[in-house]
Amino acid sequence: MLVATCNVNGIRAAVRKGMRRWLDGSAPDVLLLQEVRAPEELVPDLIGAEYKTVVCESVLKGRAGVAAAVRRDLEIGDVRYALAPDSDAGEPDVDTGRWIEIDVPEYRTTFVSAYLHSGVADRPEKMAAKYAHLERVSKRLAELRDSRPLPHLLVCGDFNIVHTEQDIKNWKSNHNRTAGVLDSEIAYLDRWISDFGYADVQRILAPDSPGPYTWWSNRGQAFDRDTGWRIDYHLADMQLALRAADFRIDRAQSYGQRWSDHAPLLVTYREE
């Protein structure tokens, strides 16, 4: 089972820049995309007829949006389009288009495409929205830990948080100064992994290496110098994580060949 995740930074632009060539070449069984930023009805054709696709669009037009796609021969079971709401009021607008769950019975796995808030360290309202969303994510992860629709769970996506010093090139200049590198954000990842029992699959496969990174700023020469961040994850139940055979990050060969500011993270999982 080959599973790919990527923040496409706008799927229409990504397809124009070559995303479909990458998809044809990599041919994942399951594809999880974030920051789709396109109307729901356009996304299946942009991904292609080889896949069955479901989309969770944000109510804020041109913002967020997540998608999950599986090979055409696979069946999609239940689909859940949002986190469990805290009240009858439903999700805040800024939280919409950030979470979709699909059950794939053949793989005995629930797959989640997740796009968590980025936040801005010196804008309290942005950080408040991020922490509120992280609380909702924590609540849902706890529910899925205790009662899953299928035996396995795999949450993939752009979490917008690095976990340790290994996950960002310039740790000292960003730690507790930049959103995504604040101890108060990192504490959520600690909780999901240490307390909830989920596994960071890439770190299981590459426990000691810096990076490899999945995102590079468009500013300066961050990409050329590999001044990156590892903020895209496969977060799995431990039984599934232990079936991970290998991973790769499909980093473009040059800045001009990128079709997103993120690179796809792909993991191969052995059969049960």
Does residue 212 carry a pLDDT above 60?
yes
Query: Phi/psi at 244 (nearest 5 deg)?
Result: -70, 125
Span 14-31, mean pLDDT? Answer: 98
Identify the bridge partners of residue 33 per DSSP, sorted by sequence position: 6, 67
* Amino acid at residue number 218: N
pTM above 0.75, yes or no: yes
pLDDT at residue 135, rounded to an integer: 95
The pLDDT tens digits for 113-145 are 999 999 999 999 999 999 999 999 999 999 999
Of all residues in the chain, what percent are helix, strand and coil, respectively (each to 5)? 30, 25, 45
Band of residue 86 on the pLDDT scale cut at 50, 70, 90: low
